[in-house]
Amino acid sequence: MARTREFDIDQAVDRALDLFWRRGYAVTSLQDLLKELSIGSGSFYAAFGSKEELYLRALERYTTLQGGSLQKIFEETAELRPAIRLMLSSMIEADLADPTRGCLVVNASTQCGGQPAAADRVNTAIRQVESLLAGVLEQAQVRGELSPEKDPRQLARFLTTFIQGIRVIGRARMGRQFVDDALTTAMRALD
């Protein structure tokens, strides 16, 4: 008879996410995960299969949470420019408050190049942000908040690239003036 699992899978994924986010994939050992999750190796393998599978689940959880946060900003802020500024500013503030963490998607893209599944997850996350932004920009264009000469898809790709770049700059600790200047220039793309 199989033993009953004595830990909450979702909580375990959240704890692993935090550990991977703080330490990085390569530096986080199986022993680190077992200690953080307070489980044995048999339970770990039964629940997650491997360190890489748990990492992919943690990355999926992170992108789901981040995507929900972005969606909420656009649902709660009616006008385009304040919503875009709020979205970008919130990322900048998070990076200024804790530059060592950065963005888990950016971290994964720079740390897991040799892992096709992680690279696919990063690609999917970036495409989701692009798609969300393109939809928001298309709606703003219909409302007359964005010039008809602007291409919403191209602008969404620029903003998605800017987001990834600003997250890297946050990890590099370039400082408030640097990121504020970049934000001012990025906002002009909406004019």
77, with CB counted inside 10 A (0-12, 13-18, 19+), is middle
Domain ranges of the chain: 52-188
Cα(163)–Cα(105) distance, integer angstroms: 11
pLDDT (tens digit per residue) in 44-63? 999 999 999 999 999 999 99
Residue 1: per-residue pLDDT: 42
pTM over 0.75: yes
Residue 70 tokens, joined: 């972005």
Q: pLDDT per residue over 1-43, tens digit each?
A: 445 456 789 999 999 999 999 999 989 999 999 999 999 999 9
Q: d(Cα 25, Cα 136) in Å, to the nearest integer?
A: 33
- Helix 116-142 to helix 51-76 angle (10° resolution) is 10
Architecture of domain 52-188: Orthogonal Bundle (1.10)
Percent above pLDDT 90 for the chain: 80
Instruction: For residue 69, count other CB atoms closer than 10 A to its CB.
Output: 12
